[in-house]
Structure 1
Amino acid sequence: MKPQIFGAIAYIALAFTGCASAPEMSKMEAPAGMEQNIAQDATESAKEVAAVPEEAVPRVAPQLVKTAEIDLEVESIDAIVTAITDTVKRNQGDVLELQNNKPSNVRDRHRAFLRLRVPQQSLDRVLAEISKLGIPQRQTLSAEDVSNQLVDLDARLRNLRKQEESLLKIMDRSGSVGDVLKVAQELGNIRAQIEQIDAQQKNLRDRVSFSTILVNLETATTTIPRSQPLGGQLGETWDNAVYGVSSLTTGLLKLTLWLLAFSPYWLAIGVAFWLIRKYAKKMMANSRDRHK
């Protein structure tokens, strides 16, 4: 490939300066005397992009990402969780998260949290069905319009694909291995940007197609068990006392077994202590004898 080919790359990059995703190409300088046909192709591509009137850009409907949240006071958490799960599955949705926080104290309220994903067209219907399962305490709905983001991504994607097509045409022409590798590297950068933007588009469209519902559940009242009769309380106390004595006896037996198992070590420690003490007494006696 002749050196003039890089001039064509520079003209292609200048033709798409509105796309911020290919800064490397815009930094290339066009050498003098480039081939006439390559320059003509680049100029025509630039004119085609610039000639698109604003009126030709299609008007898209608002693309909304919706999130709803509802707080319910219910009688039974487990039964309501099952009912909500059935409602979501019946409407082609999914339960993305479930936190069922059962209280350790009977005086605390039972709470649960669910994060749901449902088709946007089923959002109102699912919310209405969930509201009937308990007493709604709070309900909110928020929407984010991502239309401009999608339009911007579409425009950037079209410009990058045009650059990709132009680079493919350049690679079809003959040239040295070094020139082909440089164009291939630039082509790889553009394709990486295309994949990234395509992934962003899919993520936004998925968020538009499926709405999120956050459900907070709480039991209406706490359930405090009734007091047992005197006989039942005394029987329970006796059982607890017997269990305590049994546990203490078992613990003492285990401790005795541990002491027996380590008895050789205790004997060795005792003998060593006795020898040290005897040696210390002997040293003290010798010291007194010297001072006399």
Structure 2
Amino acid sequence: MLRLATILLFFLCASACSTTGGAQNLAPPSFTAAEAQATQSNEAAYVSRYLVKEADISLEVESIDTVVSDLKASLERLQGYVDRSEQRNERTIDITAKVPSEKFDTFISAIGKSGIITNKSVRVKDITDQVIDTGARLKSMKALRSRMEALLNKTLDIGQILQIEKEITRLQGEIERIEGRLNSLKKQAAMSEVNISISKKRVLGPLSYIGVGVYWVFEKLFIIE
């Protein structure tokens, strides 16, 4: 019994020494590649796809004011908004609209009913992997901060306390930066951007119609079909 008690005391002392030694080694612990991969795989299994949708549309209309008013009303119904509006000249206005991604197609359809689409470009980018990777990195950094805070509570040496607090401050700054990046990615996916260039339709006068007719006659003199 005496020998068993001596062995147990030895291991307790060794454990205490190991804890003290760990306080001196301030190199932050890190997750293994397997742990990081498992975290990402688990998140990928439960997260929906994050898609960034954008569109550039040129629209020719009879009345700019009427169409702008109609588009604003459509955005309000769809819980979107006008992010930017610029009057390029008396005949053209550029509008950047933000609309919830799930209502992107509905808004594009509403634009098509407002006038004649002369140019249209739609882009969809999948940023799911970026969101998952950034989220996994954020989770790792928060866990690392918790470990450092636990280490701080066990340390009595003033020099080591100052070093650990400095490391925690650095980690906090990194966490806030990653949180900002993650929020930005999610906002991009949540709200789609639609750039609309609205131009007033030109109405030909009498002389213009005569000119078109003369051009047609001369064209047929040289080209029948």
TM-score of the superposition, structure 2-length normalised? 0.74
Match of 2:194 among 208, 213, 231: 213
Q: Secondary structure in 1 aligned to 2:94?
A: strand
Shift of 1:6: 2.6
Structure 1 runs of 4+ aligned residues shifted over 4 Å read 1-4, 50-57
Q: Distance in 2 between matches of 1:53 and 1:148?
A: 13
1:178 paired with 2:184, answer no
Corresponding residue for residue 137 of structure 2: 156
Q: 1:98 to 1:57 in 2, by over 3 A?
A: closer
Question: RMSD of the TM alignment (CA)?
Answer: 2.5
Corresponding residue for residue 15 of structure 2: none
Match of 1:64 among 51, 56, 61: 51
Q: Amino acid of the residue matched to residue 71 of structure 2? A: I
Which blocks of at least 5 consecutive residues in structure 2 are unaligned? 1-18, 206-225
CA contact (8 A) 1:2 1:175 kept: no
Q: Amino acid of the residue matched to residue 58 of structure 1? A: A
What are the superposed Cα offsets for residues 222-279 of structure 1, whole Å, 9 maximum, x if unpaired?
587xxxxxxxxxxxxxxxxxxxxxxxxxxxxxxxxxxxxxxxxxxxxxxxxxxxxxxx
Q: Distance in 1 between matches of 2:106 and 2:22?
A: 63
Corresponding residue for residue 109 of structure 2: 128
Shift of 1:96: 0.7
Corresponding residue for residue 39 of structure 1: none
Q: Distance in 2 between matches of 1:113 and 1:54?
A: 41
Corresponding residue for residue 210 of structure 2: none
Q: Distance in 2 between matches of 1:49 and 1:165?
A: 17
Q: Which has the higher strand share?
A: 2
Corresponding residue for residue 238 of structure 1: none
Q: What is the number of equivalent residue pairs in this alignment?
A: 186
CA contact (8 A) 2:40 2:136 kept: no
Q: Secondary structure in 2 aligned to 1:175?
A: coil
Shift of 1:198: 0.6
Q: Secondary structure in 2 aligned to 1:160?
A: helix
CA contact (8 A) 1:72 1:216 kept: yes
Shift of 1:3: 6.0
Corresponding residue for residue 169 of structure 2: 188
CA contact (8 A) 2:40 2:133 kept: no
Q: Amino acid of the residue matched to residue 147 of structure 2? A: S
1:16 paired with 2:34, answer no
Q: Secondary structure in 1 aligned to 2:44?
A: coil
Corresponding residue for residue 168 of structure 1: 149
Corresponding residue for residue 244 of structure 1: none
TM-score of the superposition, structure 1-length normalised? 0.58
Shift of 1:90: 1.6
Shift of 1:206: 0.6
1:100 paired with 2:87, answer yes
Shift of 1:101: 3.1
Kindly, what percent of the aligned residue pairs are identical?
Answer: 23
1:232-251 aligned within 5 A: none
Which blocks of at least 5 consecutive residues in structure 1 are unaligned? 19-47, 104-109, 225-292
CA contact (8 A) 2:141 2:175 kept: yes
Q: Secondary structure in 2 aligned to 1:58?
A: helix
Corresponding residue for residue 65 of structure 2: 78
Highest relative contact order (Cα 8 Å, sep 6+), 1 or 2? 2
Corresponding residue for residue 250 of structure 1: none
Shift of 1:126: 1.0
Q: 1:94 to 1:138 in 2, by over 3 A?
A: same
Q: 1:213 to 1:157 in 2, by over 3 A?
A: same
Shift of 1:53: 8.2
Q: Distance in 2 between matches of 1:134 and 1:200?
A: 38
Larger Rg: 1
